[in-house]
Amino acid sequence: MSAQTGTASIPPPPTSVRGAARARVAWARQFSDPNPVWMRELRQSARLTRTPIILAAVTGMMTLLICSVGGVASVSAEPARVGVGIFHTFFSLAFVVVTWVGPAVAAHTIAGERSGRTWEALQLTSLSPASIARGKFLAAYTYISLYVIMLAPVGVLPFLFGGITATEVLLAFVWLFLFAGLSVAFGLAVSSKFSSPAAAIIVTLLVALPASMFVFSAGGVGLSMVAHRAWPGIPEGPPVWLPGAYLRAEFGLPYLAFLVFLPLVLLALPAWLLYEVTVANMSAPSDDRSTRLRIWFLVSAPVLALTAIAVILGGKTDEWVYASTTFIWVFGCFAVFLFAGEPLGPSQRVLTHWERSGRGGLGRFLGPGLVRASVLLFLLTAFALSLSGAVGSLVNTHPNERDALVAFHGYALAFFAFVVGFMVWARSRAHGAGTPRVLLVVALFFAFVGPWIAMAIAGVLSSTPDHALVLAAPSPTFTIAMISAIKTDAPERGALLLGGTVCAAAWALIGAGLLTLGSARAKKRLDEDAARHARMQAALAAEDAENNSAGKDAGPPPQRAEQVPETAG
């Protein structure tokens, strides 16, 4: 029986069971022996009398608001247009509830345990950080799902007016639940970093509010215009356009690329990352915090590469090639900042765990280690950039377009080598991740902006301002001038290409040099730590030997005389 749930627990599947059988056993355990943290949180929420009151109040206010909007609009508009307006109004408000309430609820979970001094007791239950994080996520997600379920009857009001199909409403609710998962994962990641619930909630809302507004305006209203140009059947302007796009857009490769793969990837990968960050923040500093994040990157990079290929083949224009390549490059730079928190090498606790568990070479490669992380980061990002460039060259058959793509991808790859090398060099000389990240931000700022400032000054002072453009070649944004010169066959094409090629090669060489210096510095520090640990072990062994020899010289301890117990009489 499970002590937490009172149900019969199924033992974990043996290691010999693989494939579908292991998945069936794991799925059965979710129902017979669910996560104990999840069950505890649900029982606590069920005991609160304010929970049904809050749900009823939110549902009542939403019902009154939607009915008021429908009543006012039905006076001057036809029923079908009223139904469409109510549909967009309801799901816009539901999006606000999900993206504002969800992170706030999740932000109180882990920080509340720490402030209430129950975090140590939770750790003593022998549950892993991943199990605790999963239980906290399920608890917060269940709570915010109750809001969506309570609001579901209000979402069917557009059927009273028409203009909306049941499939559109169902798809809108599906995406609402997906956004709820991402919002809860974000709040949980912030909560795992703080010890005060108030601070966690404030930071969460300061980020969640503007982020949700940006997603609603750019992803809703903004992308509806782009979708209308691609598929005229999609209305231009309404924010909740994606559910209707599944029914009105023509099925094909662009449909799968832009309406299926891209939205799911942009939601699933950040949610997974936030969950792994939560697990890492909940682990001890000497634990293995790197393997799960490394696996996330190992999966995310190929997935983004395949998504970029689908977008390029679906768009079939060079703009989508440049956009996909830029997105992959930005993702690689984000991973550089993420891996800047890597330790130089595994701790003694991690090494001992590897030896006892028989961790293989691949598992050790995915473990803590700055140099290993940087090698994996550069190889996978370079592969994704090269793959998108190759597919883009196949789509664009014009020679000038291909030359422009080669110049763009080559410069992006060379500068990314510098970013990785600079991160390794800065991290190998610091004892934390804060300083290397700040230095990398400063280096990127001067690399992007500095050459253009020098070019502007030289253009003012020089008698030939056109030739001063080459001075901006060290900036990665100089590729825009290179692409324009290649496409238009400008007279200064040769000078611009030469300057860009030389600067790209210089960035790559500097990055390789910094990577070599950083690797040597990291190895030296690891060797010093290993030597220090060996000296400490030797000193402890000598102390133990001295204590043992002193005990033998002193002889056996004196025996105490036995006392005869007194007897009555």
- Written as one string, the DSSP assignment of 481-535 is HHHHHHHHT-TTHHHHHHHHHHHHHHHHHHHHHHHHHHHHHHHHHHHHHHHHHHH
Question: In the Cβ-directed half-sphere of 352, how many Cα atoms lie within 13 Å?
Answer: 5
More confident residue, 1 or 55: 55
Instruction: Please check whether residue 405 is in contact with residue 318, taking contact to mean a CB–CB distance below 8 angstroms.
Output: yes
Q: What's the rounded mean pLDDT across residues 47-61?
A: 80
* Interior/surface letters 109-137, b for 16+ CB within 10 angstroms, e for the rest: bbbbbbbeeebeebeeeebebebbbbbbb
**365 CB-near residues (< 8 Å, 6+ apart):** 372, 376
Q: List, in sequence order, the alpha helices (H) in 108-128.
A: 109-115, 119-123
- Number of residues that this document lists for the chain: 569
**Spatial distance between the Cα atoms of 281 and 292, rounded to a whole number of angstroms:** 12
**Would you give the end-to-end CA distance of the chain in angstroms?**
55
Report pLDDT for 568: 40
- Scanning the structure block, which residue is given the tokens 């800065």? 426
Instruction: Please check whether residue 437 is in contact with residue 340, taking contact to mean a CB–CB distance below 8 angstroms.
Output: yes
Q: What is the pLDDT of residues 135-192, one digit of tens each?
A: 999 999 998 998 889 888 888 887 777 778 888 889 999 999 999 999 999 999 999 9
Please tell me which of 26-35, 232-241, 330-339 the model is most confident about, judged by mean pLDDT: 330-339
Report pLDDT for 558: 57
**Spatial distance between the Cα atoms of 318 and 391, rounded to a whole number of angstroms:** 11
CA dihedral 356→357→359→363, nearest 10 degrees, is -130
Tell me the longest C-alpha to C-alpha distance in the chain.
125
pTM comes to 0.84
DSSP 476: G
**Spatial distance between the Cα atoms of 174 and 89, rounded to a whole number of angstroms:** 17
**Spatial distance between the Cα atoms of 288 and 280, rounded to a whole number of angstroms:** 8
What average pLDDT does the structure give for the chain?
83
Please tell me whether residue 7 adopts helix, strand or coil conformation: coil
DSSP 562: P
Please tell me whether residue 376 adopts helix, strand or coil conformation: helix
Report pLDDT for 188: 93
Q: What's the rounded mean pLDDT across residues 287-310?
A: 90
**239 CB-near residues (< 8 Å, 6+ apart):** 88, 92, 216, 217, 220, 221, 224
Instruction: Please check whether residue 134 is in contact with residue 214, taking contact to mean a CB–CB distance below 8 angstroms.
Output: no
DSSP secondary structure of 434-493: HHHHHHHHHHHHHHHHHHHHHHHHHHHHSS-GGGGGGGGTTSGGGHHHHHHHHHHT-TTH
Q: What's the rounded mean pLDDT across residues 484-512?
A: 87
Instruction: Please check whether residue 410 is in contact with residue 507, taking contact to mean a CB–CB distance below 8 angstroms.
Output: no
**Spatial distance between the Cα atoms of 85 and 164, rounded to a whole number of angstroms:** 10
Confidence tier at 437 by pLDDT (50, 70, 90): very high
**Confidence check: pLDDT of 18 > 80:** no
* Among 285, 279, 277, 231, CA closest to 258: 231
Report pLDDT for 393: 83
Report pLDDT for 10: 47
- Scanning the structure block, which residue is given the tokens 């290929």? 309
DSSP secondary structure of 307-338: HHHHHHHHH-SHHHHHHHHHHHHHHHHHHHHH
Q: What's the rounded mean pLDDT across residues 189-196?
A: 89
Q: What is the pLDDT of residues 358-400, one digit of tens each?
A: 777 787 888 888 888 898 899 999 999 999 888 888 887 678 8
